Amino acid sequence: MTSQQASSKPDPPSPSASFYDLSDDEEGGYNTITHTSTTRGVKLLYSKSKVYVHPTPSAKDNIPGFIALVQQKPAPLSPDDRPNSSDSSGKRTNAASYLLAWVPEASLAQDELSAYVKVDLKDGESPPKQTYLVPPPPVATSFEESPVGPYSFSLPLSSIYSIHVRPPSLGWWYGSIVVNTRAGSSLPALFFHDSECESTILQKKKRARESFDPFGESGELFWGGDEVIRWLKRYVMVERSTAEPSIYLIDPSEEDRLGFGQGRKSLEGKHQTVNPDMKKPNQKNPPGPGMDPLTKALKETRWKILEQLSKVTTFTRRTAEDLANNKNIPPQVRRLIQNPEIQTLQDEFDSAKLYLARWAMTIAEQSEREKRQRIWTARDALDSEETSVGDFEILDMEAGKMTLADSKRRPVNLEEWESFFDSKGRLQVTVDEVKERIFHGGLDPEDGVRKEAWPFLLEVYGWDSTEEERHAYMNSKRDEYVQLKGAWWDRMIEGAATPEQEEWWKEQKSRIEKDVHRTDRHIPLFAGEDIPHPDPSSPFYSPDGPGTNVHLEQLKDMLLTYLEYDTPPSPTTSSAPHYQTRNPHPQNLGYVQGMSDLLSPLYAVFQDDAVAFWAFVAFMRRMSRNFVRSQVGMRAQLSTLDQLVQILDPKLYVHLQAADSTNFFFFFRMLLVWYKREFEWSDTLRLWESLWTDYYSSQFHLFIAVAILEKHRDVIMDHLRHFDEILKYINELSGTIELQEILFRAEGLFRRFEKTIEAVDRKNTFPEPSGGELRQRRPADDADGKNQDSSTSAIATGTGNPSSTAAGSSSTLRQGLPARPRQAPAQQAQKGKAKEVEKRAEQVVTPELRLLLSRKIITFDDEEADVAKPRASGLKD
């Protein structure tokens, strides 16, 4: 049916309508009318368009047609051929004169087509008042016999034994029905393409308008197949099998009822008896007619969708109101609950299905978590142990080991931070101890401790410095910042040495400007734009530039100052008495998108441009490899993720392979700006400070990626089969990820990974790599607290007895003084030796994977050797 045809209203009939549209008050009189093309017409009672046969798996072979219920002249004229619902015997006698038919669109002449369309669009429950006669569809009991072409059929209702009904569901995009004849054959499945069927769309809309209820009579989402069952019910007995709820029996005998109706309840949903050759997409124990549990629940629930959703995953039930008020519920779901305009639901339902699956999971976990604050994490980690991964040995994974005392997960506040330092402002506990606390607890977001702690985490300050040293250091860095900033400022105003340079800097400036104005504008600090430019002498000043504020201007200045710092001095500028960069390794990155995202949280915390600038320089030491032209850092990390997923979750990996998704491109954004687009602002800050500790690994952010993937592995494996679907799904996780849980999973994954590598090494009877790159962690041997990471004992003992933990740490603390610098020269010296060991291990554990056990920051310089020359491109970047 075309849209033009659909828009023509069937009622009242126009004078120019098809000659079949003969107005006829007498129900029984139709058979007297004859017309030219056929000797005898049948009365079209109901029809529905866009019902397809799918002869091959390829969508391009689908054949659109009409399903219809027609009435032929009954042999002995019954005095009342209108059905009488209370009279089942009447129905029985009618069954032979009513035919269920399917005809391909292509086989219909234009006037026939228009009759089918009109009946289809007829608004109302009963057959049209005026009679539409059509040529009788070819009567055939099996589709091979049909003269009109394969697949078309019409069957007297009396010869239909049952109809197998499969509503649309996650696995079955189109709902379908299969007619089983009394002779024992099954006709081809008819698929209802509801989204193309004008009448179904109208019926859905009408339902939504009238009753705010888009669901069908049985509480299921309304679809085209419902209509067919409704038609049939007017003329014959239709009974839903209790043994096979997807089977509707037509005029069942007592025997049928016994055999099929009530008889075999125990087998419910276990297997298909009628169409053994009909493969279901979801073969693992479907609970209903071809539906997965979620969809089934969705359909049964009507307005209690969410309440039921939590049941789906067998977690606690919560009322819809509770959920509606919960700010963690994604807006789309909240809209479903709060918005009385069901239209929205109807329209969004299809696309919402997948997301509902995800949210069901999230909601369930959330309520579970609220119920048992402490236990969930441990169990969760154990669950994730079981879900994914192979049969390699899992050590030390008992719940106890993973459950830290509350005191360890509390944020470090300013008071606790200050207690780490002595009167001279020198650290008096071990670095690892501080890092362990921050890794697990984070820093208090309110009391300003971040301002103090972040420069240490980013290694702007040495951990063994005194207050005085830090003060002096920052003073000199402030001067340096002012000089750097002055250099480009002057150049912008006086002009650069060459036109090329001039052009380059202008270009950089405009890129920075563009991005800063779209960076974190939802944060109050950066939101305002009513202030005219604070400094008309600034190179960024433009009378008709966009509204700005002083903080945005600071971001721009810092980013250009970073370029000044990062760009090698050009020989041609030597004449100008400009500041020469003291940066020993300028990388000449230019401004690259993502930089503004990395800078803005630093500035927001410090609110001091010089400190924020040097913090950014420090942060960029580990991030710059992602921004270089060759993208070497991104490539290396995506490839490491590939290996990591292979080793941690081979099943998922195979699925991703089949989905052509092992480029792991969907992690690109997460890796480039360290999850800033996935988490809320406050969570981002919390995550970054954990990552900066390098507590387990300098590459812990990769475990965050795997944790996110693992959390959604079931949805991905069950529902997503293509790269674009997976990319979209992962992109849309943004704003829905629970940080604490992901941190916890990532920790579990890291430990599992570590154990795997150890096990592999042991199997290969390697000599234990001695220290250096590979951190061995065997808590059992660590009882004496010597020669080991204090962090390990903190975790191992932290579970049962908090006081012993404290004692343990403080003893380590004294031993540890002065705190050992993280990149000890000894470590570098070991590097060669470790490399040798790695070489031998390569067959099993790649160097990339082994690097994940290292706490040493990977910088661009490390990877420079491997830099692939970027393909030449006309795009200047």
Residues 659-678 that bind another protein (CB under 8 A): 660, 663, 665-666, 668-669, 672-673, 677
Nearer to another protein, 92 or 721 (CB): 721
Least distance to another protein, CB of residue 341, Å: 17
Of the residues 337, 492, 497, 592, which one makes contact with another protein according to CB under 8 A: 592
Q: What DSSP designation does 720 have? A: -
CA 425 vs CA 454, 463, 464, 657, 865: distances in Å: 15, 10, 9, 53, 40
Does position 276 interact with another protein (CB under 8 A)? The reply is: no
By CB under 8 A, what part of segment 626-645 binds another protein?
A: 627-629, 631, 634-635, 638
| Sites for another protein among residues 185-214 (CB under 8 A) | 189, 191, 193, 195-196
When asked if residue 278 is in the footprint of another protein (CB under 8 A), the reply is yes
Q: How far apart are CA 580 and CA 550, in angstroms?
A: 28
Outline where 624-731 has alpha helix (H). Answer: 632-648, 650-658, 668-672, 681-692, 700-711, 713-719, 723-731
* Spatial contact of 409 and 383, defined as CB atoms under 8 Å apart: no
> Which of 451, 521, 820, 831 touches another protein by CB under 8 A?
521
722 binds another protein (CB under 8 A): yes
Least gap, CB of 173 to another protein (angstroms): 3
- Dihedral angle, C-alpha 453, 454, 456, 458, nearest 10 °: 170
Q: Select from 723, 847, 862, 864 the one that contacts another protein (CB under 8 A).
A: 723
Rounded to whole angstroms, the Cα distance separating 205 from 767 reads 71
Residue 877 CB, shortest distance to another protein, in Å, is 4
175-181 and 153-156 beta bridge pairing: unpaired
Decide if residue 865 touches another protein (CB under 8 A): no
C-beta of 660: minimal distance to another protein in Å? 8
- Minimal distance in Å, beta carbon 603 to another protein? 17
Q: Which long-range contacts (CB under 8 A, 24 or more apart) does 778-782 make?
A: 779/396, 779/401
Q: What is the dihedral of CA 640, 642, 643, 645, to 10 degrees?
A: 120
Task: Kindly tell me which of 176 and 203 has the beta carbon lying closer to another protein.
Answer: 176
> How many CB atoms within 10 Å of residue 718?
16
- The minimum distance between CB 51 and another protein, in angstroms, equals 13
Amino acid at 96: A
**Contact status: 109 vs another protein (CB under 8 A):** no
Task: Identify whether the C-beta of residue 42 lies closer than 8 Å to the C-beta of residue 25.
Answer: no
C-alpha 3/C-alpha 5 separation (Å) is 5
Phi-psi region of 534 (alpha: psi -120 to 50; beta: other; left: phi over 0): alpha
Select the residue interacting with another protein from 149, 259, 281, 534 (CB under 8 A): 281
In whole angstroms, how close is the CB of 299 to another protein at the nearest point? 16
In angstroms, the CA 299 to CA 222 distance is 9
* Binding to another protein, residues 823-842 (CB under 8 A): none
- Please say which residue, 335 or 521, places its beta carbon nearer to another protein: 521
Q: Which is nearer to another protein, 473 or 723 (CB)?
A: 723
Choice between 264 and 635, CB closer to another protein = 635
Complex with another protein: residue 403 or 587, whichever CB lies closer = 587
Site string for another protein, 480-519 (x = CB under 8 A): ---------------------------x---x--xx--xx
- Residue 328 amino acid letter: N
| Phi, psi for 756 (deg, rounded to 5) | -60, -45
Residue 104 and residue 61 in contact, taking contact as beta carbons nearer than 8 Å: no
Site string for another protein, 155-174 (x = CB under 8 A): ----------------xxxx
Minimal distance in Å, beta carbon 628 to another protein? 8
Residue 869 touches another protein, criterion: CB under 8 A: no
Q: How far is the CB of 719 from another protein (least distance, A)?
A: 8
Is 3 a binding residue for another protein by CB under 8 A? The answer is yes
| Span 334-363, contacts to another protein by CB under 8 A | 350-351, 353-354
Minimum distance from CB of 792 to another protein (Å)? 36
Comparing CB distances to another protein, the nearer of 253 and 873 is 873
Contact characters 30-69, another protein, x per CB under 8 A: ------------------------xxxxxxx-xxx-----
Closest to another protein by CB, 356 or 796: 356
Report, in Å, the least distance between residue 754 CB and another protein.
Answer: 29
Binding residues among 443-472 for another protein as defined by CB under 8 A: none
Q: By CB under 8 A, tell whether 731 contacts another protein.
A: yes
Q: How far is CA 760 from CA 350, 754, 844, in A?
A: 46, 10, 7
Residue closer to another protein by CB (options 292, 694) is 292
Q: Determine the Cα–Cα distance for residues 341 and 348; give it in Å rounded to an integer.
A: 11
Q: How far is CA 595 from CA 561, 591, 617, 627, 673, in A?
A: 13, 7, 11, 8, 8
Region binding another protein by CB under 8 A among candidate stretches 198-206, 230-238, 243-251, 277-285: 277-285
- Closer to another protein at the Cβ: 192 or 750? 192
Supply 588's token pair. Answer: 């000449």
Report if residue 782 touches another protein, rule: CB under 8 A: no
| Contacting residue, 728, 763, 778, 840, with another protein by CB under 8 A | 728
Structure tokens at 758: 């150890």
Span near another protein by CB under 8 A; candidates 238-246, 276-284, 320-328, 645-653 = 276-284
871's CB contacts (< 8 A; 6+ apart) are none
Helices (H), 304-398: 305-312, 320-324, 331-338, 342-371, 375-388
Stretch that binds another protein, among 137-145, 409-417, 588-596, 837-845 (CB under 8 A): 588-596
Q: How many angstroms separate the first and last alpha carbons of the chain?
A: 51
Residue 725 contacts another protein per CB under 8 A: yes
The binder of another protein chosen from 265, 279, 327, 869 (CB under 8 A):
279
Taking CB under 8 A as the rule, does residue 594 contact another protein?
yes
Instruction: Please provide the size of the chain in residues.
Output: 877
Q: For another protein, which is the closer residue by CB, 449 or 632?
A: 632
Q: Using alpha carbons, list the distances in angstroms from residue 825 to 14, 486, 696, 732, 856.
A: 93, 37, 20, 44, 12
Q: In the complex with another protein, which residue's Cβ is closer, 383 or 507?
A: 507
Under the criterion CB under 8 A, does residue 289 sit at the interface with another protein? Answer: no
Task: Return the closest-CA partner of residue 164 out of 249, 255, 281, 257.
Answer: 249
Q: Which residue has the tokens 């977001």?
A: 445
CB closer to another protein, 201 vs 394: 201
CB closer to another protein out of 353 and 855: 353
Contact 752, 385 (CB under 8 A): yes
